Amino acid sequence: MLTADRTLRQKMGPRSPQFAGTVAAGFTVYRNSITAVCADGTLVPAGSTGTPSAPVAILGLARHMQINTANFPGTGPGVGGDIAVDCLTGCYDLPFDTAPTWADKGKPVYAVDDETVSLTQTPEGGTARLQVGVFAGIDADGTAYTEI
């Protein structure tokens, strides 16, 4: 799980619609974290447990960090649950748990947590993961990209 904002490379192309939501109480999303939407409409980092309701879909990558925890001592636009977080869509270099190959092009990609993705929907002994998007391809330098 992420503990800070991160930077990702992006391949430009057509974009899907972007949606926003507020962060669930007790959670923090970081910039470019894979963000899930719960059944109640609140946002949590993908792979979170103890959510207010079940995570039902991946919304995209959080545009900015938003802290909605009671123990954070600050104030401002990045703190609290009343600020909506836009979730970005597009083609990004999300890290994979196991490196994909060109034979995987077009296959579904699933969230392991808010940082990592996988081509495996249900790991051995685990529960089903939410789909992030599809495997888009591999850049000339070997970087794998996911279309969200």
pLDDT one-digit tens code per residue, 29-53: 999 999 999 999 999 999 999 999 9
Asked if pLDDT for residue 9 goes beyond 90, the answer is: no
Whether 72 and 106 share a structural domain: no
Structure tokens belonging to residue 137: 């391809």
pLDDT digit string, tens, across residues 77-124: 677 667 899 999 999 999 999 999 999 999 999 999 999 999 999 988
Whether 107 and 75 share a structural domain: no
Give me the pLDDT at residue 80, please. Answer: 67
Give me the pLDDT at residue 8, please. Answer: 81
Q: Give the number of domains in the chain.
A: 2
Whether 84 and 138 share a structural domain: no
Give me the pLDDT at residue 7, please. Answer: 80
Whether 43 and 74 share a structural domain: yes
Per the listing, tokens 């600020």 go with 83
- Within a 10 A sphere around the Cβ of 37, how many other Cβ atoms? 22
Give me the pLDDT at residue 125, please. Answer: 83
Angle 76-48-25 from CA coordinates, rounded to 5°: 35
Distance CA 62, CA 42 (A): 13
Of 88, 120, 139, the domain-final residue:
88
- Range 129-136 average pLDDT: 97
From residue 59, alpha-carbon distances to 36, 41, 134, 138 in Å are 6, 10, 14, 23
- Order across the sheet with 34-38: list the strands: 19-22, 84-88, 55-62, 34-38, 43-45
